[in-house]
Chain A
């Protein structure tokens, strides 16, 4: 009589896909609950002011040099890349408008957010991950503090408040950088640079960019803190959490940028239809 061998089905691509979907849904659900608990704390009790100031210093003040560099170079690169095409059409004096609109609506908020996801997001997730693996988060609970209230809420508030301000700085420095390169190197008339910048950029464009950056800040802080809280054991776990914090933040920034961009444009068209001339 031949023996029956027990064989198990090999994992196929469908199994992998199924596992991936399950993991993604679990991650999103966990992130939602994490954010929900955090929002509950914001409504009921703000964190100690010393925590908030410390986070604001680290996230805001210490990010200024990097934001200045990022913004300045974005502006100059825009000038470099758009000048030739504009010169072909004899519109080089209007280059200020292109630089300003691109910066305030899109490049300023997005590139500043990505840079801050790298600087602030990875730092937050590494710090919280290290606290997780060294049992400091457990120690907080043991001493009567809620870890989300004590650690996450100040970081979330600091990011939501300061990333829009840093975006404004990035936009301003970008426009200045573009001005410098356009006028001093490419020979564009300074008067026309500022004239077309002012006439083609409206308050709605600026506010739209700041509106987006608020959500980017919220996403960066929530994702980075969540990854830190749920990091695996040891240095490898902390490193992985920091990497995931940046990658997930980047993906979410891209998705939010698209969704918010569509919403902002649609809202503008709606307002123009219902209240023409009110929104500019």
Chain B
């Protein structure tokens, strides 16, 4: 069992969390926490369970075993109403932005406010415009539909939508996937600016090392269970970005430097 100690400063914590889909195990006995104001980056290869971890933090998926805690209290202890209320304190930027196709940009960004507050239209309008400005978009795109936006614009609208509810915790699920290098850095800058503007705790899932270097206070690296022995921990690294790049662990080294190594031969043998 994972022996990492609980910290009273943890805003979000996973304790001995495992997740299975049918007979396939994706996460095994994961334990980590995120302190207030910290930016934790979760890295790892495709299929190691990073997005699953994010969704469990948000309670969009439930762990098979183990516990997810928000502010020291288990998510499973909360009633449905408490869960819905407390979940609003967490903002989520989905991998593909997950904008609502049938709604305009304005309606997307205002969605959470209309759904959960009794703000007047003028107040909502003001918040929407401010959030769009914050992510570098003008109010002229308010009437556009998501299908009319580029990938980078969609991500920024998704970020504006997540920030509209003034969350305490921000989850970024592969925020730069599919974007060009310039837009990647724009998103990285927005993550930093969001943190600078408001006291937000951030968890970023990515395999983009430029994002890791730019935004991470601390990194954890997950490894695919299929390539671990039964007694090995799935979190193979925990530390700063600098420590990751200086790590002597072959698994960490291979990932952070992007080296194929023996992987191609292993894949050929497996198929």
Instruction: Please list the residues of chain A having a beta carbon within 8 angstroms of any beta carbon in chain B.
Output: 130-131, 134-136, 138-146
Contacts and interface: CB of A to CB of B under 8 A. Distances in A.
Interface centre among A139, A141, A145, A146 (most CB of B within 10 A): A139
26 contacts: A130-B101, A134-B96, A135-B95, A135-B96, A135-B98, A136-B98, A136-B99, A138-B55, A138-B92, A138-B94, A138-B98, A139-B94, A139-B100, A141-B60, A141-B87, A142-B60, A142-B92, A143-B111, A143-B115, A143-B165, A144-B85, A144-B87, A144-B112, A144-B115, A144-B116, A144-B165
Contacts of A141: 60, 87
A144 B162 CA distance: 11
Nearest to B92: A142
Contacts of A139: 92, 94, 98-100
A145 B107 CA distance: 14
Given A143-B111, A143-B161, A143-B165, A136 B60 contact: no
A242 to B, nearest CB: 16
Interface centre among B85, B95, B115, B116 (most CB of A within 10 A): B115
B95 A144 contact: no
Nearest 4 interchain pairs by C-beta = A139-B98, A135-B98, A143-B112, A144-B116
A138 B60 contact: yes
Contacts of A134: 96, 98, 101
Contacts of B91: 142
Contacts of A144: 84-85, 87-88, 112, 115-116, 165
Contacts of B165: 143-144
A1 to B, nearest CB: 32
B161 to A, nearest CB: 7
Given A141-B87, A142-B60, A144-B115, 19 more contacts: A130-B101, A131-B101, A135-B94, A135-B95, A135-B96, A136-B98, A138-B55, A138-B94, A139-B92, A139-B100, A141-B60, A142-B58, A142-B87, A142-B90, A142-B92, A143-B88, A143-B116, A143-B165, A146-B84
Contacts of A142: 58, 60, 87, 90-92, 162
A134 B58 CA distance: 17
B128 to A, nearest CB: 14
A143 B92 CA distance: 9
Interface of B: 55, 58, 60, 84-85, 87-88, 90-92, 94-96, 98-101, 111-112, 115-116, 161-162, 165
Contacts of B88: 143-144
A136 B100 contact: yes
A254 B20 CA distance: 38
Nearest to A139: B98
Contacts of B101: 130-131, 134, 136
Contacts of B55: 138
A131 B58 CA distance: 18
A44 B167 CA distance: 28
A130 B96 CA distance: 13
A40 B90 CA distance: 27
A139 B91 CA distance: 10
Contacts of B85: 144
A135 B95 CA distance: 9
A146 B100 CA distance: 14
Contacts of A140: 100
Nearest to B61: A138
A136 B103 CA distance: 12
Contacts of B98: 134-136, 138-139
B154 to A, nearest CB: 11
A136 B111 CA distance: 12
A253 B99 CA distance: 35
Interface centre among A130, A134, A143, A146 (most CB of B within 10 A): A143
A217 B33 CA distance: 49
Nearest to B94: A135
Contacts of B90: 142
A136 B99 CA distance: 7
Contacts of A130: 101
A130 B147 CA distance: 14
Nearest to A136: B98
A145 B115 contact: yes
A146 B55 CA distance: 16
